[in-house]
Amino acid sequence: MRIRDLILPEDRIFFTLFKDMAGKISEASAVLNEITHELPGGTEKGHKIRQLEHLADEVTRQIYEKLNESLITPLEPDEIARLAPALDDVMDRIDRVTHQICNYGIPGSNDLLKEFSYLMILSSTEISHAIDDLTTLKKADEVAKHASETNRLYNLSTELLSRSVIELFRTDDLLLIIKLKDIYEGMARVMEMYNDVAHVLSDIARSHT
């Protein structure tokens, strides 16, 4: 036990806020998955993700506010300061690619869009589990496992992006190629943000082992 833990109780609000953020990310990924399965319908659901993104911004603000106020934190201050923006970046990117999909007038869905969105759901689940395990600081190995699985999913997304480029050029619709390429790259960017969260969680797990 650290000496500072014997002096003042830790402020556990950070774990509550991180869980809240992870929950909003999971909800956003689920809505995006619905949209990718309902195209060209379902685009009206994009406003829900925009609302979640605004709420996530507020959670991030609260985390930094609490970090400035708290004398004792359950994680090191720099760990909290890394994890908060990493999670916020995931939400921002989900919001961005959702509005690309909704605004580009895609004529219908395809397997690639569905696969990308499914990888996001799986990644959201791993991140949520990792943060749940992080709350006790006694399951560092489990946190690391979830981070590793998120990294594996990211690697799958890079393979999916490569495959999507090949598929793109099997159509003669140049405008659709441009739109889909932008969307696929945007979805791959979301997966990169999940992987960044996984790196932060892995580092935190390692420091608390």
Write the pLDDT tens digit of every residue in 151-199.
999 999 999 999 999 999 888 899 999 999 999 999 999 999 999 999 9
pLDDT at residue 7 greater than cutoff 50: no
Per-residue pLDDT at 185: 97
- pLDDT tier for residue 10 given thresholds of 50, 70 and 90: low
E strands, 51-174, where?
Answer: none
9 has pLDDT over 60: no
- Written as one string, the DSSP assignment of 130-165 is HHHHHTTSS-HHHHHHHHHHHHHHHHHHHHHHHHHH
pLDDT at 208: 81
pLDDT of residue 6: 42
The structural domains of the chain, ordered by start, are 9-207 (1.20.58.220)
- Closest CA relative to residue 205, chosen from 139, 160, 127: 139
pLDDT tens per residue across span 70-118: 878 889 999 999 999 999 999 999 999 999 999 999 999 999 999 999 9
Minimal CA–CA distance to 134: which of 70, 82, 202, 84? 202
pLDDT bracket for residue 5 (50, 70, 90): very low
Instruction: Give residue 9's identity as a one-letter amino acid code.
Output: P
- pLDDT tens for residues 18-68? 999 999 999 999 999 999 999 999 999 999 999 999 999 999 999 999 999
| Res 4 pLDDT > 50 | no
